[in-house]
Structure 1
Amino acid sequence: MTVAWAVQSRGGDALRPASAAKAIHDVVVITRRNIIRMVRIPEVLVLSLVQPIVFVLLFAYLFAGSFALPGAGGPEAYREYMMPGFFAQTIAFATASNSSVGMANDLKSGMVDRFRSLPMSRGALLTGRALADLVQNSAVIVVMVGCALIVGWRIHHGFLHAAAAFGLLLLLGYALSWVGVLIGLSVRAPEAAATGNFLWLFPLTFLSNAFVAPSTLPAPLRFAAEWNPLTATVQAARDLFGNPGLHATTGWPAEHAVVVSVAWSVVIALACRALAVRRYRASAA
């Protein structure tokens, strides 16, 4: 009711082509709606925070002694090495799942049809979904940073470099949220959306430098890992944080990790947003 009233209260002139100001207003309204919904179902947010904490503790205290890094030390060095990978993995899984399942739920419940009947920007529903997930990712990162500090992870290059690293991680999360939105619009049930995410999230995460050095992989897999969008973002974060194992990833993408990370995120966001808006309009026809 609140969303419908907020959009309809602008009057009949909203039926004309939306201006930039109106489109921004619509995005803000939808983003606010999704954040309020998130707050009113706290168990979803709590579970999204607990899962990465459990994984961090498992890898930090059970598996760290089993991994060796080129040019780095023992378990303590691996704990610092793995944390940027955990940041990226957690954001990727949480963002894509929330976006795809949330969008599929809105489709199944008829909420999307209701929004289509309102005089609002066509892309506002989708952009609001992605921005709400960005807010949730920020909360997840805050909790993970606290857990990481407990297990021994440290920032060595100062606040500004760390802020840039977190910015790259959130930018990747925003880009991957559009992948989730596209999947959510393409399936007919939330269960299918949840299952579909694993088909691309697991290769994206584990065929990267998040947990192991790509230099240890066979040549074809090493090439794929070096050009993985997640690898670029994780490597850029390690460079900016000053974490160990900086030479565990080789190749041109690793040498220009910040640029490659930004480029991948922008390309993924623009391409998937265009496809998602096209899918949304086609389903309304």
Structure 2
Amino acid sequence: MSGTTTADSTTTADSARGQVYWLLSDCWNIVRRGLTHYRRQPVNVAWQLGFPIVSVLLYGYVFGSAMTVPGGGDYRDFLMPGMFVMTMAFGFINTATVVVYDSIRGVTDRFRSMPMASSAVVAGRGMTDLLVACAELVIMMLTALAMGWRPDAGWGFLAAFGLLLWLRFALIWVGVWLGLLVPNPEAAGGLFAVAFPLTMISSIYVAPQLMPDWLGFVAAWNPISSTASAARELFGTPGGGADSWIEQHALLMAGVWPVILTAIFLPLAVGRFRRLGR
């Protein structure tokens, strides 16, 4: 009897290992496909990188001399971490656009017809976008350094880089879910109308203390504001002060907000993928 039980346990363990292996294999195939598309369509990469770079130059040089930072400090140093956050925040539009293109071209239906795990398709898209986000951040930071931005080196720099990717990771699932909801690429492009006020009513460009009280409250509790404030603290750049609880605990909330977003939108994205065509 014990021998039968041991054999059953071994079979179950082998089956579980096999499922994990094929899940990872399917996920890697999706990642490789996504990176191949980027390599073969350099214009799309140039567009994704061009907008944030132009934004850095525009806000840094055109508006930099006219802006002030509460508590003192150079506005460009205040701005740069916020621009990194903006790039991560706008990334969900690119995710949604790629997902909806796959849907209308029948690629998503083909994936669903194959013996692939639904979670592998969604996770593969997320990992692809995360790798692209790493490249975007590196290029953005090199641009900022060329403009004279000088952050503190060391573990704080690496921690800030990780927090930026952590935010992007959470927003990927928002993009995947929206990409599976919207009917066409034009509608996905219209998501910019959602992303723009989301980034403007935050601490990316201006400290909440300089806004009207009610607007400053909304901006301070915007999830991307926590990442922006935490990044400024870790980079050692001007932070604009901290009047409210949420601003005083920016490091904590920069870790918590993405967890909340992922817990909400990752299951929604996987569930929406499974329900397609029903």
TM norm structure 1: 0.88
Give the match for residue 252 of structure 2: 259
Stretches (4+) displaced over 6 A? none
How far did 1:79 drift?
A: 0.3
CA RMSD of aligned residues (A): 1.7
Trace 1:114-125 onto structure 2 (pairs within 5 A).
114-125=110-121
Answer whether contact 1:99 1:180 (CA < 8 A) is retained.
yes
SS at match of 2:206: coil
Alpha-carbon deviation of 1:187? 1.1
Is 1:192 matched up with 2:207? no
Q: Pick the aligned partner of 1:88 from 85, 89, 95.
A: 85
Equivalent-residue separation in structure 2 for 1:250 and 1:211 (angstroms): 17
**2:11 alignment partner in structure 1:** none
- 1:76-130 per-residue CA deviation (whole Å, 9 max, x = no partner) reads x10000000100101211x212210000000000000100111110111111111
Distance 1:194 1:204 in 2: 15
What is the aligned residue count? 264
Deviates more, 1:171-180 or 1:47-56: 47-56
SS of 1:127 mapped into structure 2 = helix
Structure 2 letter corresponding to 1:24: L
- CA distance in 1 between counterparts of 2:159 and 2:21 reads 29
Q: Does the 8 Å contact 1:18/1:121 carry over to 2?
A: no
Identity %: 40
Name the CA distance, whole Å, in 2 between partners of 1:70 and 1:227: 18
Of residues 238, 243, 255, the one that matches 1:250 is 243
Structure 1 unpaired stretches of 5+: 1-15
Is the 1:31–1:132 contact (alpha carbons within 8 Å) kept by the matching residues of 2?
yes
Corresponding position of 1:13: none
Report the residue type matching 2:150 in the other structure. Answer: R
Greater Rg over alpha carbons, structure: 2
Residue correspondence of structure 1 range 267-278 to structure 2 within 5 A = 267-278=260-271
For 2:135, the equivalent position in structure 1 comes to: 139
Unpaired runs of at least 5, structure 2: 1-15
Per-residue deviation, 1:60: 1.6
- After TM superposition, the score normalised by the length of structure 2 is 0.91
- Secondary structure at the aligned position of 1:258 is classed as helix
With over 3 angstroms needed to count, the CA separation of the structure-2 counterparts of 1:17 and 1:110, relative to structure 1, is farther
Which residue in 2 is equivalent to 1:214?
A: 208
Q: 1:60 to 1:283 in 2, by over 3 A?
A: same
1:72/1:245 contact within 8 Å kept: no
User: How far is 1:254 from its partner?
Assistant: 1.5
Deviations 1:228-270 (A, max 9, x none): 11100000000000001341x4311221112101111111122
Structure 1 residue 110 and structure 2 residue 106: aligned?
yes
Partner amino acid for 2:123?
Answer: T
